[in-house]
Every structure is written in C-alpha cells, then in structure tokens.
Amino acid sequence: MKVHVAPVEKAYLDAAWRRLDRFTKPPRSLGKLEELAARIAAIQRTDRPRLGPGAVVVAAADHGVAWEEGVSAYPPEVTYQMVLNFLAGGAAINQIAAEADARVYVLDVGVRGPDFPKAEGLIQARVRPGTGNLAKAPAMRLEEAEAALKAGYEAAKWALREGATLLAAGDMGIGNTTAAAALTAAFLGLPAREVTGRGTGVEGEAYARKVRAVEAALRRAEEKLGHLDRAPALAVAAELGGLELLAAAGVFLAGAEAGVPVVADGFPVTAGALVAVRLVPEVRDYLFAGHRSVEPGHARQLESLGLFPVLDLGLRLGEGTGAVLAFPVLRAAARVLAGMATFEEAGVSEG
Amino acid sequence: MKVHVAPVEKAYLDAAWRRLDRFTKPPRSLGKLEELAARIAAIQRTDRPRLGPGAVVVAAADHGVAWEEGVSAYPPEVTYQMVLNFLAGGAAINQIAAEADARVYVLDVGVRGPDFPKAEGLIQARVRPGTGNLAKAPAMRLEEAEAALKAGYEAAKWALREGATLLAAGDMGIGNTTAAAALTAAFLGLPAREVTGRGTGVEGEAYARKVRAVEAALRRAEEKLGHLDRAPALAVAAELGGLELLAAAGVFLAGAEAGVPVVADGFPVTAGALVAVRLVPEVRDYLFAGHRSVEPGHARQLESLGLFPVLDLGLRLGEGTGAVLAFPVLRAAARVLAGMATFEEAGVSEG
C-alpha cells in the first residue's frame, strides 16, 4: 500500500498567523484556538479555511488476550453486541456524532462472531475473527496487519467520497487498551506499567494480569524483532495488535493523503496514530488530538506526537467520542480565521 | 427587581444519573460530560434533555479607570469601535456564534460616545456613558447598578422570547478586568495582586498601576461598606463596577429564572456571575463555566462557584467567545442522555 502525504508548508502557516495577528483582538488572545486555525489553514492550503461535514470511522475488532487472559472488565462478546448497538444508533458515538454533524461508519475489521446483517454505515472487512493472544503469540501475521491498515484506509476513502471534510477514527474492541499499552510501550520505549491503565474499569488481580500480559507481549516481540522502538512499525503492530488500531492508522493515512484534518480519540486510537506517523511521518501535520483521556498512557502518546488535547473532560469510552466532540471547536477555529475582520477593516484602534 | 429562581431538584439529578448508569458504556466513562448532562436534565426537569438554539448577550460599557489611570493595553475608544465591529459581524464572537448556532445580541449598557446607529441585534440601554474611576470614586450609583442589572435581564428575556434555549453572557469594555479584579477580590476576600492579571496584555508600569487601582478601590469601598465579602452585593458592585458586569449578572438571573442553562465566559463575565449568585444563590444551579481563561483570578472564581470549565484553551478575549464555544459540548451532553440505549434495550452484556 503506497500512501503519499504532502507535508504541510510553512508558508501557509505563516500566512495564517499573519492574518490572525491582524484581527480585531489582542494578539494570540484566542490561545490554542488560533493554533488550531493556523494548522487547519495550512492543511487546506488557504488562509480562509472552512470545515463542513465530518465523519468518524469506528473500527471494531476482538482481541485474543481478552478471551484467554481476562484483562477486561467486560466479557469479549460485548464487541459484537456494541457493533449492533452502533448500527442501531444507541451508542454514545451516535448521539455525539449527530450533534456534531458527523456521519458514523462502522468498520468490522476483525470482530468474532457471525456476519453482521447488512446495515447503513456498516463496512464489512473482517481480516480475521479477532487477534491471537499477544501475551503468547503474534497478534496477527504481517499481511493481516497490512490488510487491517488497508481496511481503515478504504473506509476513510469512502467517508471522504461521501463528503467528509474532517475525519476521526474511533475504536471498539474489548481488550484493546491492552494492545494499545503494548504498542505504546514499544514505540515510546516505556515500561508496561507506565502505560497500562484501567481500560473500561479493570481492578485488582485482573489489572495485574493485564500488566503481565503487556510485559509478556513486549518480551516476546523483542526477542523476535530486537529493540521495538527501532523495529519496522508494521511488524511491531502485527506482533502486538490490534486489528482496529491498525484500521485507525489507515484512517489517518487516508485523511492526511486527501489533505483533510484527522482527529485522534483516546488511548487505543492514538496508538493507531503512533503507527500511522511511524509509517508516514507527514501524517503528524494533519493530526489533532480531540481530547485527553484518563488512561495514563494517553498523555504520553500526545506528548510524543507533540499534540495538545482540544478537550479534557475525563472521558474513557472510546468509539471516537472524544474526537467527534472536538469537531465543533475545530470548525469554530477555522471560521474565526476565515471570517474575522482586521483592525483596518473594522476601524478599531490598536494597542 | 424581583427574580424568582427555582432551585434545581435533586430528584431530577438522581433520575438522570440512574439513566446514565444504565447506558451502554462503562459507568461514568463519559466523565464530566455526564455531569453536564445530568445538570442540564435537572434544569429542564426531565430525563430526556434537549438543547436547541443558543444566544449570547454581549454587554458593552466603558470604565472611568481606563481613561484616568491607564490600566489597559488598548485605548478606551476601542469599546465603542468594537461594538460597531460586533454589529458588522467582524469580531471573533460573530464567527464562533455562527458556528455554534447562537444569536449575538449586543447590549450597550454604558458605552462612551455617540448613540449607535440602529442595527439588528443591538439593544440600546445605556445607563451612563461609562463608570466613574473606581480607584477614586464609586463606579456608579446604586440605582445605576440596578438599572444595568435590569438591562442585562431584559436583553436576556428578549433572547429567550426569540427562541434561545441556552444563554451566554459576553463582555466588551476596555478596563473591565480591573473592575472584575476588584469585584473578585471583594467577594472572595483575596488580595488584589492574586486576582489582577494582564487583561488584554498590560505590562510593566501599566500593570503596576492596574494593581494599585484595584487596591485603592478596595480600600475606598471597604471604608464605606465595611467587610466587602459581607456587604450587600449590589452595593459592592456599584462601588467597583462595571456596568457590563452587572448586565452579565442580569443575563444569568433571567436565564435561571426561565429555567435555561446559563454559561459564563472569562474573568469579567464570571465576576458578573459572582454578583448574580450573591443576589440569588439558586442561580448557581443553572450556571456552567464555558472555559477557563489565563487570567489568574478566573480559576479562583470557578473554584468559589464550584464549577469546572468545559474548555481550557488559553483564551483571554472575552466577548462570550469561551462560553459560546462550549455550547456544542453542552448540546452533545444533553443528547447523550436523551438518546442513548440502555444495556437491556441494546442487548449488551454488562461487566
């Protein structure tokens, strides 16, 4: 899979900042909103950016580690059930997306269970019915990692064809904060414990099992690939999973390639963002952090990507909720840059 | 002016939380979004809240202290010029409001200068052309404070009649962070220096003058009224100003009385919220903090009101920008509570 992402040009950033600094407001008084505006302008190669409808690709897949090691507060069949819930419109992401002018695309990239009935917004592209147990075996083969990446990429292309001007990735997969912790520890060179959180609410012995599973996975992958922060990103992702995290990476690749802002969600999806940026560093120019979750590893991921979160409301749900919740703020940022008057235009005295 | 605000009933809050805890998500995994949802439900006396169009009343007035003491980075005539800019649609609040489905009402409650030409959204209710210099004399008479409060109240009633289901107050007034610092120090019993910030960007000797002006105002008011945190709120506000801060208080009173969520903006408007809550404590039940600004006193105000900010993007502009930017998040919170499915409804297994 060949992806061409043009780096954002500094000239557009500079032009955006020049405009922002001439507007009728104390310089930089809109804080980080101005940074968002300038980055969106540069992505769109204009100094009058505009964001219209958005979309979120909610990638769903299962995790062998959830079945075999008991690392989650929820039974693994919840992944399947939640996909049905997304399709029926009953999940949090459906409500938030409806409010934020975003379409929901549900991508089955590796759910375990029977095929889903045909439904609007469902993209069936199951690479395999859940990963292997990363604590004991590769999560998937390299070709499967490529296929999962491609599934996310194609789903995003579909959303773009249907009019999305702003893209988020979301995730559903019982056990996926375990895979995300392993990936994050691998890429950032951090110990498992520092990036392994409570996920959907795992406590006590189950949490200890989760940490041990991440540690075992890292040891296993390291024996095979050597230093994980220097090994090929796709090989590392194949070892540690999961399928939906790779799909999220594919969404970011497609959005960046199309010149559209892409918004990361919580800890699992941002692990996907790490994969995408390792594969194509220019993706970073197109990437925004919708929010900061309570997962301890999420802040580390955002630091390493050099991103600040638009929202910080203590979310820990996933599904793309924190990403889509940030859409209106990104749109407002763009609109400020497109529509405000300068001091000269408005006849306002300067300080 | 008699205002009747019904306290929010705990039964509605409890019912909202019961629903939220049955939805298809780990309990409380939407973090503070769930708190927003529950509070909006209780305000609307329902467990299916819904927020439609919003409005922001941008109250504008001048400050004698800006003319006489040089406490601002901008010349005082900017207040007048910015009102024209609001009416022409060139300001930040115009852009943000357009994106957030909010109408902008501009309330001239005390701008210095000629009358404004008639314009859509302009409410002309000038109580006096700017306050007195609070460092040396009362900002206004008690009857003027009442009139400014009433002007905000009436402006909000107009916005409500025109369909607002969600209300913010915004501010424009060169010098108003000086008045807001004095009010905040008075009500919270804090030294001037702790709550006096850089406003639109004042530095060096001008900043020192600003602190001295606040200190002088507090001494003067205290000599007259005794302990300011125990003196009648309206009398304190009359001493320290400003007219637009009182108008903001009036907006909050009207919104709360009508059973509508009211959203505070930055440091000046939240000083108005302090006045409103001192006058009618039940207003607190209806009040939300749109954001936390970089003004050091703003965090202190929010603490004292027991509010968390929806956004924290380093804004320091005012005009209601940080309040209106939070509207889509409040709407999404309401929608989550109105529309999500429970575990039973969706057939999803629980942890």
Instruction: Name the phi and psi angles at B21, rounded to 5.
Output: -80, -10
Write the ipTM: 0.98
Q: What is the spatial distance between Cα A26 and Cα B81, in angstroms, rounded to a whole number?
A: 14
The whole-angstrom distance between A211's CA and the closest CA on chain B is: 19
Chain B from 69 to 98: CB within 8 A of any A CB:
72-75, 77-78, 81-82, 84-85, 88-92, 94-96, 98
Reported as half-sphere exposure (CB side, CA atoms, 13 A), residue A129 has a value of 9
Judged by CB atoms closer than 8 Å, whether chains meet at A316 and B26 is answered as: yes
Q: What is the pLDDT of residues A293-327, one digit of tens each?
A: 999 999 999 999 999 999 999 999 999 999 999 99
Both tokens of residue B176?
Answer: 């108003």
Angle of helix A243-257 versus helix A233-240 axis, rounded to 10: 150
Both tokens of residue A81?
Answer: 């059930």
From chain A, pick out residues whose CB is under 8 angstroms from the CB of B70: none
Q: What is the spatial distance between Cα A3 and Cα A5, in angstroms, rounded to a whole number?
A: 6
> Which residue of chain A is at minimal alpha-carbon distance from B314?
A31
Q: How confident is the model at residue A350 (pLDDT cuts 50, 70, 90)?
A: confident
Judged by CB atoms closer than 8 Å, whether chains meet at A329 and B311 is answered as: yes
Determine contact: B48 vs chain A, CB below 8 A.
no
> Which residue of chain B is at minimal alpha-carbon distance from A174?
B351
> Which residue of chain A is at minimal alpha-carbon distance from B172?
A25
pLDDT of residue B2: 92
Whether omega before B339 lies within 30 degrees of 0, making that bond cis, reads no
pLDDT of residue B1: 85
Chain A from 95 to 154: CB within 8 A of any B CB:
95-96, 98-100
Instruction: Name the phi and psi angles at A54, rounded to 5.
Output: -115, 175
- What b/e sequence results for A175-205 when a residue is b if at least 16 CB atoms lie within 10 Å of its CB, and e otherwise? bbbbbbbbbbbbbbebebeebbbbbbbbeee
pLDDT of residue A325: 98
Q: What is the spatial distance between Cα B218 and Cα A251, in angstroms, rounded to a whole number?
A: 57
From chain A, pick out residues whose CB is under 8 angstroms from the CB of B19: none
A61 has a pLDDT exceeding 80: yes
A124 has a pLDDT exceeding 90: yes
Give me the catalytic one of B319, B344, B345, B350. B319
User: What is the spatial order of strands in the sheet that A309-311 belongs to?
Assistant: A122-124, A102-110, A54-61, A167-172, A262-264, A287-291, A309-311
From chain B, pick out residues whose CB is under 8 angstroms from the CB of A94: 339-340
Both tokens of residue B331?
Answer: 């709407």
Reported as half-sphere exposure (CB side, CA atoms, 13 A), residue A65 has a value of 36
pLDDT of residue A67: 92
- What b/e sequence results for B326-338 when a residue is b if at least 16 CB atoms lie within 10 Å of its CB, and e otherwise? bbbbbbbbbbbbb
Q: What value does the mean pLDDT of chain B take?
A: 97
Q: Is A68 a catalytic residue?
A: no
Which among B67, B311, B337, B342 is the top mutation candidate for probing chain A, defined by the most A β-carbons within 10 Å of its own β-carbon?
A: B311
Judged by CB atoms closer than 8 Å, whether chains meet at B350 and A314 is answered as: no
From chain A, pick out residues whose CB is under 8 angstroms from the CB of B312: 312
From chain B, pick out residues whose CB is under 8 angstroms from the CB of A331: 99
DSSP for residue B73: S
> Which residue of chain A is at minimal alpha-carbon distance from B36?
A313
pLDDT of residue A89: 97
- Bridge partners, residue B287, by sequence: B262
Q: What value does the mean pLDDT of chain A take?
A: 97
pLDDT of residue B107: 98
Low pLDDT (below 50) residues in chain B = none
Both tokens of residue A307?
Answer: 């991103």
Instruction: Name the phi and psi angles at B180, rounded to 5.
Output: -65, -40
Number of C-beta neighbours around residue B66 at 10 A: 30
Q: What is the pLDDT of residues A141-171, one digit of tens each?
A: 999 999 999 999 999 999 999 999 999 999 9
